[in-house]
Structure 1
């Protein structure tokens, strides 16, 4: 009869062998990759992504949306490797490229046509009324760009106003409490300031085609995570189709996240143009991408205004490949 101590030793030996076998099997099993992490901020142009997720058109196994309070925090997350891609404006894309982060634009989300604005206090009628006054501007490049263009087109200099750096979500309260005289803003915050008695001094209708929002991902992920990038694009266009076919229901769904009604959301969307799949391909690809042409003009303006520290290769930042592989 075996001694109890010998039985215990045999059990431990068998258990150890079993654990080693499981570990070996685990080492041979390919771990599932996490979903592509896409950073967004609170902005109506990002909402079709969340609509796609709600409609079941954005598989979380492929794509995970990560929302931040402001665009500057999205940029910070990308720089810190916390996300794989983001919704970003073209000027911000140039800034990341100049700093060596190698982003690639795979989708044109929208072109601003009135959605970005400078809102001033009641009684103000033009940018010239801001001389010597305080203007809230978000920390990222877009707010500084909009302000610089608004001042230049009004015959003013950057030193004519006092810039107060505030995140976009902090601006409405500061405006209502009289801490700033104006703000460079966008919806849903633009509407809040107008309701508080603000007046539009400048908007993106004066700079057509200059403010473009994109989805960009890290260059290496175009091949390493190609199925996830494709899933992201498919989900986006499914949501855009739903928006075009049933705008009221789509606006109701998207407005819930931004705490706004369907009618107000649709009104805000009038300040944006959302390109179709075919328009996207024309903007990103071909022998003469439309976005490259406007991008060169934007880059030169940014260099002149010292909003970009070095020129970038605009064409190399556009990646139409994943989109061109989708069926029309």
Structure 2
């Protein structure tokens, strides 16, 4: 109900169309989004904001879906989220949104864990706890497809990511679909087996920084500052020696693990440390096919809105083409600012 209420509120809000000098960005704990915590604490975000004469506040939200709801309701100008959630929450709610930073894709960081069982087939008849209608739900559907099963073979139990570890620790919960660092913690519990993960569907779960399109149009300096800060952070994080260790150690501790644990999560993440790497995916035809698949899943689950007649109801604009209704584009992958970073023009 909280999610639906936020979407109704989002529909009633006017787009943020005027230039401003103060902005808010929110993020939640995930291996690919911890760099924002580091960038804020180290003053990198502030440095880039100062360069363009703006103030950027970076805020952590403990509940992932709630962070997207708050962004959709206009409380934040930008927010970290996946490609599917960007489509099904803000875009489906009428909030025109742009993927400003394509940060990585999950290559094992999202997974399904069973207690006392060892295969996807063992999901049959079970309750599966997950953040309903999120990428964890998408992952579950893809896993079931791999075994010729469907969601009719089990029961989905909606569970906040903030509660996932505690819930799995109870006797009644025997199956979860979730993401790191929660996934690693749950998988390490006794009698637990990861039976499927996102490495089986590489490039389909993409982690982004999404920004309100109208806000970006009115404030290109915000796009420049955020992208500039991101790639400075990426440079620190990927550097050899003390700087890289220090950056990743901070990110590890801020996400509740240690350096070894964080590096294990990075090993199952295809991080785009350079803008060229990010542009390779953003500009690809594969992105178009991926978003078509995501749109079809979303339509099947009623995530594109009650009035959506088909999977192409919401237009998704990408460099290699537009999927869906070009007259109803609400989600965009804009390579402009990442290209500026690649060209050294920020």
Instruction: With the length of structure 1 as denominator, give the TM-score of the two structures.
Output: 0.83
The alpha-carbon distance between structure 1 residues 107 and 289, as it changes in their structure 2 partners (threshold 3 A), is: farther
C-alpha displacement at 1:55, in angstroms?
2.8
Q: Please give the residue correspondences for 1:227-306 in structure 2 after superposition, counting only pairs within 5 Å.
A: 227-246=221-240, 247-275=244-272, 276-285=274-283, 290-304=286-300, 306=302
2:34 is the counterpart of 1:47: yes
How many aligned residue pairs are there? 294
Instruction: With the length of structure 2 as denominator, give the TM-score of the two structures.
Output: 0.79
Distance 1:305 1:202 in 2: 21
> 2:316 is matched with which residue?
314
Between structure 1 and structure 2, the one with the greater Rg is 1
Distance 2:171 2:79 in 1: 33
Checking the alignment, whether the CA contact within 8 Å between 2:136 and 2:179 is kept in structure 1 is no
C-alpha displacement at 1:295, in angstroms?
1.7
C-alpha displacement at 1:284, in angstroms?
2.9
The alpha-carbon distance between structure 1 residues 180 and 308, as it changes in their structure 2 partners (threshold 3 A), is: farther
The alpha-carbon distance between structure 1 residues 318 and 324, as it changes in their structure 2 partners (threshold 3 A), is: same
Distance 1:159 1:63 in 2: 45
2:145 is the counterpart of 1:152: yes
Q: Please give the residue correspondences for 1:1-328 in structure 2 after superposition, counting only pairs within 5 Å.
A: 33-59=20-46, 61-95=54-88, 96-121=90-115, 123-197=116-190, 198-246=192-240, 247-275=244-272, 276-285=274-283, 290-304=286-300, 306-309=302-305, 310=308, 311=312, 312-315=314-317, 317-326=332-341, 327-328=343-344
The alpha-carbon distance between structure 1 residues 160 and 290, as it changes in their structure 2 partners (threshold 3 A), is: closer
Distance 1:144 1:92 in 2: 11
Q: Which runs of 5+ in 2 are unaligned?
A: 1-18, 318-328
Distance 1:127 1:307 in 2: 25
Worse-matched range after superposition: 299-308 or 161-170: 299-308
The alpha-carbon distance between structure 1 residues 232 and 140, as it changes in their structure 2 partners (threshold 3 A), is: farther
RMSD: 2.0
Checking the alignment, whether the CA contact within 8 Å between 1:138 and 1:165 is kept in structure 2 is yes
Offset from partner CA, 1:63-122 (integer Å, 9 cap, x none): 22121112210121022211111111111111132331111111111100000001110x
Aligned structure 1 segments of 4 or more residues deviating by more than 4 angstroms: 304-307
> 2:4 is matched with which residue?
none
The alpha-carbon distance between structure 1 residues 245 and 308, as it changes in their structure 2 partners (threshold 3 A), is: same
SS of 1:235's equivalent?
Answer: helix
> 2:6 is matched with which residue?
none
Offset from partner CA, 1:200-234 (integer Å, 9 cap, x none): 01100111111001111111112222112211111
Distance 1:225 1:44 in 2: 28
The alpha-carbon distance between structure 1 residues 47 and 148, as it changes in their structure 2 partners (threshold 3 A), is: same
SS of 2:225's equivalent?
Answer: helix
Checking the alignment, whether the CA contact within 8 Å between 1:71 and 1:140 is kept in structure 2 is no
